[in-house]
Every structure is written in C-alpha cells, then in structure tokens.
Structure 1
Amino acid sequence: MTKPNTIDASITPIGSLEVLSQFEVSKLKQAGENGLYELFRRCVLAILNTGSDSDNAKTILQNYPDFRIDIVQQDRGIRLNLYNAPADAFVDGAMITSTREMVFAALRDIVWTESERKNDLSEQASGSAITDYVFHFLRNAKMLLPGQQPNLVVCWGGHSINEVEYEYTKEVGHELGLRRLDICTGCGPGAMKGPMKGATISHAKQRILNARYIGLTEPAIITAEAPNPIVNDLAILPDIEKRLEAFVRLGHGIIIFPGGPGTAEELLYILGILLHPDNKEIPFPLILTGPKEAADYFKQLHEFIAQTLGYQAQQKYKIIVDDPIAAAREMTTGMQLVTDYRRKAADAYHFNWKLHIDPIFQEPFHATHDNMAKLNLHKNAPVHLLAADLRRAFSGIVAGNVKEQGINLIEEKGPFEIHGDPEILQPLDNLLEAFVAQKRMKLPGSAYVPCYKVIA
C-alpha cells in the first residue's frame, strides 16, 4: 500500500477559542494531556481526512499511525503543532480554512467542554440533566441564536447512497435554500452533504450571506465519516444519544432521505419521541423523500413501521416521492405551524424545551454482544419503548459496521445476536436484507459481511 503524503504544520484558532486567558489555555493544555488527547487526535485526523472514500475508522487510523498533535501554550493564546498530518488538508502549506475551523471546534468540544462539565453529569444521568447538558453544549458552540424565527431543517439520510439519490438530496436542499431555510445534518458525506451543497447555490441566489450549515456528530462517528467541507458550524457531542437530542432540540423540522441502518435508527428515534403522549400536540414536521427510484425503499420502510410500531406511527410523517418542490413547500408549511405554536406556548425559537424525551432515549447505549441480545423487541411493549429498543438495535449495527470499538468486538466475538418476537424480527430481518442488497450498509467497495444475526 502506498504511504499517504503528510505534512507538518502549526496553526492558531479560527472560529472557536480565538480569545483565551492564560489560565484558560493552561486548562486546555492540561485537559488534553490528562486522558483526552487520544480522542482529540482521532477526531482531528478524521477532520483532516475530509473527502476520504473510507468509512472505516480503523483503516483511517492505521493509514496515519505517526500523526500527532502538540498543544502549545503561549501568551497570545493557544497553538497546535501537527506532525505527519494528511497533506490533502493543506494548499501550498496552509490549512484549508473550513478544516482549520473544524479542528478548533473539536478542541472546543472534546477538550474544553468535557473538562468543564465532566463533573456535572454522570453516566446514569437522564431527563432534565441531559437536556440541560445538551443546551449548554450547543450554547458553548454558539449554535443557539435567540430571536431568529424557526428556519433550521434537519436532514437525515445515508452516507452510502447512489448518484441518483445524492443528486436528489441536492435538489431538495436547493429548494429549501430558496425558501431561506438553513440546513443541519450529521455533517458527513452522501445525504448529509447533498442538501448543504444544494442550499449553497440557492442561498447565493437569495443573497443570504449568513446561512448556516450545521453539522452534529459524535467521536465514534466522525472518526469513520469525515465531515464534509461545507459545514460552517460543527459540534461533536459526547455520544449518539446526546447527538440525537441535539438534532431535535435545535432543529424545527426533519427531512429523511434514503439511507441504511443509521437512517432507520434516526427515524425510530424521532418516531419514539413523537409517539409519547406528552408530545401529542407539539407540531414537528417530518418528511420522508427521495427520487422515484427510491419509491420501493420508502414502501418497505413504511411497511416495516406498520408491522412493528403500527398505524399511529405512520401518521407522524409524510412520504413525498420525486418532488423536491413539494417536499420544500411541505416543510415551509410545517415551519409556520412550529412558529405559531412556540409563540403561543411562549417556547424558545432556538431550543425545543417543551418536547418530552423519555429517559430511555437519553441513556447511552453501549453496543456489546450482551446488550444487543437483551433488547426488548416484543410486541407487548409500549409503542414508544419498542421504538427505543428498535433504535438501539440499529445503533448496534451501525457500531458493528463503522465504529472502531464495534468492529473490534465483531472481529473478536463474531456477529451481534438480536432476539425477540417473530412478529418484530421478521420485518426487521427483511429490512436489513434489503439494505444489504441495495448496498446501504457501507460505502461501495468490498462485499459486505453482516455484523449481526437476527434470531427469532
């Protein structure tokens, strides 16, 4: 294998952490040296690999074993010295501006925020404590803009989609941008990049100079799926559950494009929340859309929801096939309902405080063989709790597909086993087999080897 080109460089903050006291710099340096360095190194390496055609965290780390970072304290603030960094992140020796911004966003989130808040939140915390944590995290990242009317559309979808589906996400993003809506995604490639790319053109047409392209991720995901360069606001949440809560607290509506297990996880997460009785009256536009070639995909996903969560869950979303304008108009109409409700309820525009999130959706789920085997996938479970455990099943599959820890567990112990009622597991198995057949599990390349077994 050809050794990748590398470069040594020294960079100072841009976008985050530009103005710091000597005491703050000292704390940052100390935190980076006391246990968080390796996590920071991995996230920065992923950011420097923006545009990579790999979705395997282990492979990216193995390609740059000698990459390291020195956090340097100086009177003017902080400096990062990078050694053996991927050369593609630089132009004539200077780091690309968007990449530099994201590097310091990673420093802010992983080192600064974690060192500031680690004593305020235990692993077992849930409910209002988690929501408060997410609020402070987003506020520290300067993502909360009080006074601005609801206009942020969260776009979910697969990182491994075909060219037709990718072009469709760009068309939808273009129509959203023409209606002056901003975009928030998981920040990676595929359906996370397309809407942002489409919106950049329409925002330029509308002469919108302060458009937001927000990327929300977490350490295990960003190391496998490098952020796309359009992102101008990046936040790296501590785990997938806080990342998902950040999406629904920050966003005002959601569009879901075709995808694989990660997209199914996201759909089940928002459905489980919207199905909770306390959220019955809260408007939250949810649209599933894709090109005509994806019609069968949405049909199968719709049937899966019917067979597992039932008719009530199907009423929480609309499916719009091959019509970007209709999807954007539907979202615009939904945004107005959100605005009217929040004004009437005296709820904040910038953070969805009134949405109730059951603790089962907030508790971190660690994808181990034991935890995957214990999932409560039974027909007699309350519908929102069944949605929670189905979400966890897909989360585990994502971990086994692309996250380093999950990949290592599969290599050591074999596939995860998923148990439950046949009435739940058969539709689940059918959907997963369709994802494999449609190459939605990982980026194109070698043949997919399942990291799971569905056992009725």
Structure 2
Amino acid sequence: MTPRKTTNATVTPKGSLETLSQREVQQLRETGSGSVYALFRQCALAILNTGSHSDNAKTILEAYPDFEIRILQQDRGIRLELCNAPADAFVDGEMIASTREMLFSALRDIVYTQSELENKRVDFSSSKGITDYVFHLLRNARTLRAGVEPKIVVCWGGHSISTEEYKYTKVVGHELGLRGLDICTGCGPGVMKGPMKGATISHAKQRIVGGRYLGLTEPGIIAAEAPNPIVNELVILPDIEKRLEAFVRVGHGIIIFPGGAGTAEELLYFLGILMHPANQDLPFPLIMTGPKKAAPYIEQLHEFIGATLGPEAQQRCKIIINDPSLVAREMAQGISEVTQYRRKQNDAFHFNWLLTIDEHFQHPFEPTHENMASLKLTRNQPVHELAAHLRRAFSGIVAGNVKDKGIRRIELHGPYEITGDKDIMQPLDRLLQAFVEQHRMKLPGNTAYVPCYKLAT
C-alpha cells in the first residue's frame, strides 16, 4: 500500500490520566512496554486514523509501518511521543481534541487491564468474577455515574450500510435525543456514528449540556472500525465478550439497525441472555428497525431467529419499519419500565447487576479453525446455549472478515469450516448468503467478497 503523509509530535493527557504521580507514570511505562506495546500501538494507530474508510485492520497497519509511540515521563506527569503518525490527526500542528482524548483513553484502558491481570485481581473462574471485572473496567473509565436515571440507548448495526440506512439512523438518533436519551454504540462508522450524529443536533435543540456519546470497543475491532469523532467517552474492553457484557450492563434499551455478521452476533448474544430462565421477567426493551428498503433484511434476521431459537425469542424483539418517532417513543416507554423495575428491585441505574449472564457468553472465544469446527450447532441443548454457539459462529466470521489475526488465519489455512444440524445450517446459509448479496460483509467499493467460511451438515 502507498505510504501516507505522516508527522512527529508530542502530546499530553486530555480526558484521562491528567494527574499522575511519578511512580504511577513509571508503572505505566513498564506495563506499556513489551507485548502490551504492540496492542497499544495498534489501537493508537486506529484512533489516529479516525475518519478512515478502510475496514481492514491489516491494511491500516501496513499503511504506517514506521509508526511508533513512546510513553515518556515529565515532572508534571506523562506525555506521549509520536513518530510517523497519520498527519490527518493534526490541524496546524495540534492534535484534534477528540483524537487526543481517545488516545489517552486507550492508554488508560489497555494499561489498566494489564495491571489488573498482572496483580491477579480477577476471578475468571466464576460468572460473578467476570462481571466484577467488567464493572471495574467501566468504573476506572468513569463510565458509571451513580444516581443518574436510566437513559442510555445502545444502538447496534453495521459499518457497511447504504446511504439511506445511514440517514435513517441519524433520524432515529435525533428522535431519541429530543427525548433526552443518550447514545451508546460500538464507536465506529455507519450505524455506530449515525445515531450519535442525530442526537447531537437534538441535544443542542433541547439545550442538553453533557449529552453522552459512549463508544465501547475492543482491540481486535478498533483497528478495523476506528472511532468516529462524535464519541466523547471511549472505553476499550479487553475482548469481544467483555465488550458485549459492558453494553448490556450499562445500557437501558437496545435498538438493532441493519448490519451484517457483527450485528447478528450482537443480537444472538442479547437474545441468548434474555432467553435464560432467570431473565424472563426482567424488562429490557429491544427494537429492530430500519427504513422501508431494509425491511427484507430485518425480516430475514427475524426469520432466522425463529428458525433457530424459536418464537419465544422472536417475541422478545419488537419490529418497527420506517417510523423513527415511534421507535423513540417505544424506547422511552421501555426505559421508563426499566426505571420502575430497578427502583422496585433496588438495583443500580448505572450497572445492571440483576441481569444473569451465563458463562457460555462470558469466556473469550478464540476463532481458530479448530474452535470454529467444534461449535455445537445442534438442537440437543438449552436454547440460550445454542444462541451462545451461534454467536461464536458469527464472531468467527467477523474475525475472518475484518480482524487482523483472523484475516491472516484465513490466508494461511483457508476458510473456516462450520458444521451443525441441517435445520440450523440451512437458515444460517440463507442468512449469510443474503448478507453477501446485500453487500453487508464489507464496506461498499471494496473488491468482491470472498467468504471466510464453509458450511456443512
């Protein structure tokens, strides 16, 4: 790939890590070296590429082979020295403010995560221990705000969507903002940007100061989906499972917009949790929506849920086509019910402790060829466990499509082989084929999609 314009710079903290002792800076420098450095470099490069239209982590990394970032100590704290950094992250020699904030958010999250692991403070042997770990990561990022009434709407959907679908997400975001609701997304482009953009306007109209545009990501995704510039709170969780748990712990309602494999993964994750017997009476509004042209996509995804998880799972999700105002009204009403329930149960507004998440949804899934071939896509298991395995199948497809490690595995070993019961694999095949035909696997304009998977019964 042709090298791009670069620059050298030194930046000091903004938004995170402004006040540190000399010992804390030294600990940051020690933790942020070695194997952790490669991870921080990758995330930093993605943040500096905010606005990039590439969804290929390998391409972005190869575009800036000489990029380096160093953690330096000074009397008043910490600073970062950047060499051969993307020039687009600067204006007249100064780093763009939002980029600077997100850069130090990345340092905060990655180094804190590593520090927690090194000090062995995390109990990964139990579901409660993993949830406690997610809580600490979010609290350290100052995401949890006690006493604030529920108003965070999680918006899930694809980065590879049509212009009409993108405009629709902005209108829905605008309607949500008019009702005083905040937006949480995966922080990238497409559906992750549209609702935030719409809400910024309506928050301004309503004179809402301090509107929240929360972006939750993880290292494998951030390089492929660089944060959009509207995000004013960025949190990088250590893996996709912690990221997904963070969404459902801090969010008070979820909207599913058109997307692809990643969106299906998120929906299956959430429905699998809602299908757990312990969560059947717990209110948590879930709406699938899109413009009129996206109706076939929504119907296909809804049909897939019915064919695999059954009608009970379908009933947990409300479908609204081409009506942004109704989406916002239904979501506001749903969140009102969440508020009443949390008050009655004495549960926190800022973190959903009462939601039961089975360990099948919490342990990291490494999408190797062996693990993908071993997925249990069969009927002889509880529905919420089948949802967990289906979620992993889509997670592997996402990895093969856009994550650096996944792309390299496919290049080396060929497509993943996924097997299962015929009455599960056939609906899966139809859904994935529809994603390919609708160009929902990669960003528009890229070369023809080559599947990273093979399905068999």
Q: Could you tell me the TM-score, scaled by structure 1's length?
A: 0.99
Preserved CA contact (<8 Å) 2:176 2:182? yes
User: SS at the partner of 1:150?
Assistant: coil
Q: Which residue of 2 aligns with 1:265?
A: 265
Amino acid at match of 2:248: V
Q: Distance in 2 between matches of 1:27 and 1:256?
A: 41
Amino acid at match of 2:61: L
Preserved CA contact (<8 Å) 2:376 2:386? yes
Mapping of residues 362-381 of structure 1, within 5 Å: 362-381=362-381
For residue 124 of structure 1, report the CA deviation from its aligned partner: 5.0
Q: Which residue of 2 aligns with 1:246?
A: 246
Q: Distance in 1 between matches of 2:248 and 2:104?
A: 25
Preserved CA contact (<8 Å) 1:400 1:410? yes
Q: Does 1:436 align with 2:441?
A: no
- 1:325-381 deviation digits (Å, cap 9, x = unpaired): 000000000010000000000000000000000000001000011000110101222
Preserved CA contact (<8 Å) 1:151 1:252? yes
Q: Distance in 1 between matches of 2:176 and 2:118?
A: 38
For residue 112 of structure 1, report the CA deviation from its aligned partner: 2.7
Q: Which residue of 2 aligns with 1:453?
A: 454
Q: Which residue of 2 aligns with 1:69?
A: 69
Q: Which residue of 2 aligns with 1:193?
A: 193
Change (3 A) 1:194 1:381: same
Q: Distance in 1 between matches of 2:238 and 2:121?
A: 11
Amino acid at match of 2:92: D
- With 334-343 and 1-10 compared, the bigger mean Cα shift is at 1-10
Q: Which residue of 2 aligns with 1:315?
A: 315
Q: Which residue of 2 aligns with 1:351?
A: 351
Preserved CA contact (<8 Å) 1:16 1:104? yes
For residue 111 of structure 1, report the CA deviation from its aligned partner: 1.2
For residue 70 of structure 1, report the CA deviation from its aligned partner: 1.3
- 1:80-138 deviation digits (Å, cap 9, x = unpaired): 00000000000011000000000000000001332134433669534001100000000
For residue 35 of structure 1, report the CA deviation from its aligned partner: 2.4
For residue 209 of structure 1, report the CA deviation from its aligned partner: 1.1
Q: Distance in 2 between matches of 1:368 and 1:232?
A: 34
Q: Which residue of 2 aligns with 1:419?
A: 419
- 1:269-297 deviation digits (Å, cap 9, x = unpaired): 00000000000111000000000001111
User: SS at the partner of 1:14?
Assistant: coil
Amino acid at match of 1:452: Y
Preserved CA contact (<8 Å) 2:116 2:122? no
Amino acid at match of 1:168: Y
Mapping of residues 215-294 of structure 1, within 5 Å: 215-294=215-294
For residue 32 of structure 1, report the CA deviation from its aligned partner: 1.0
Q: Which residue of 2 aligns with 1:42?
A: 42
Q: Distance in 2 between matches of 1:443 and 1:123?
A: 39
Q: Distance in 2 between matches of 1:335 and 1:71?
A: 42
Mapping of residues 295-314 of structure 1, within 5 Å: 295-314=295-314
Amino acid at match of 2:131: T
Q: Distance in 1 between matches of 2:365 and 2:220?
A: 13
Q: Which residue of 2 aligns with 1:404?
A: 404
- With 318-327 and 29-38 compared, the bigger mean Cα shift is at 29-38
Q: Which residue of 1 aligns with 2:336?
A: 336
Q: Distance in 2 between matches of 1:375 and 1:123?
A: 25
Q: Which residue of 1 aligns with 2:18?
A: 18
Q: Distance in 2 between matches of 1:424 and 1:240?
A: 24
Q: Distance in 2 between matches of 1:425 and 1:122?
A: 37
Preserved CA contact (<8 Å) 1:375 1:419? yes
Mapping of residues 169-184 of structure 1, within 5 Å: 169-184=169-184
Q: Does 1:135 align with 2:135?
A: yes
Q: Distance in 1 between matches of 2:310 and 2:123?
A: 33
Q: Does 1:81 align with 2:81?
A: yes
Preserved CA contact (<8 Å) 1:126 1:363? no
Preserved CA contact (<8 Å) 1:121 1:129? no
User: SS at the partner of 1:379?
Assistant: coil
Amino acid at match of 1:178: L
Percentage identity across paired residues of the two chains: 70
Change (3 A) 1:408 1:122: farther
Unmatched 5+ residue regions in structure 1? Answer: none
User: SS at the partner of 1:33?
Assistant: coil
Q: Distance in 2 between matches of 1:120 and 1:136?
A: 14
For residue 34 of structure 1, report the CA deviation from its aligned partner: 3.4
- With 279-288 and 124-133 compared, the bigger mean Cα shift is at 124-133
Q: Distance in 1 between matches of 2:139 and 2:123?
A: 21
For residue 431 of structure 1, report the CA deviation from its aligned partner: 0.1
Q: Distance in 2 between matches of 1:271 and 1:335?
A: 18
Amino acid at match of 2:231: V
Q: Distance in 1 between matches of 2:70 and 2:102?
A: 17
User: SS at the partner of 1:287?
Assistant: strand
Q: Distance in 1 between matches of 2:123 and 2:366?
A: 11
Amino acid at match of 1:125: S
Unmatched 5+ residue regions in structure 2? Answer: none
Q: Which residue of 2 aligns with 1:212?
A: 212
For residue 74 of structure 1, report the CA deviation from its aligned partner: 1.1
Q: Distance in 2 between matches of 1:126 and 1:201?
A: 43
Q: Distance in 2 between matches of 1:402 and 1:123?
A: 31
User: SS at the partner of 2:83?
Assistant: strand
Amino acid at match of 2:320: I
User: SS at the partner of 1:238?
Assistant: coil
Q: Does 1:155 align with 2:162?
A: no
Preserved CA contact (<8 Å) 1:415 1:451? yes
Q: Distance in 2 between matches of 1:73 and 1:448?
A: 46
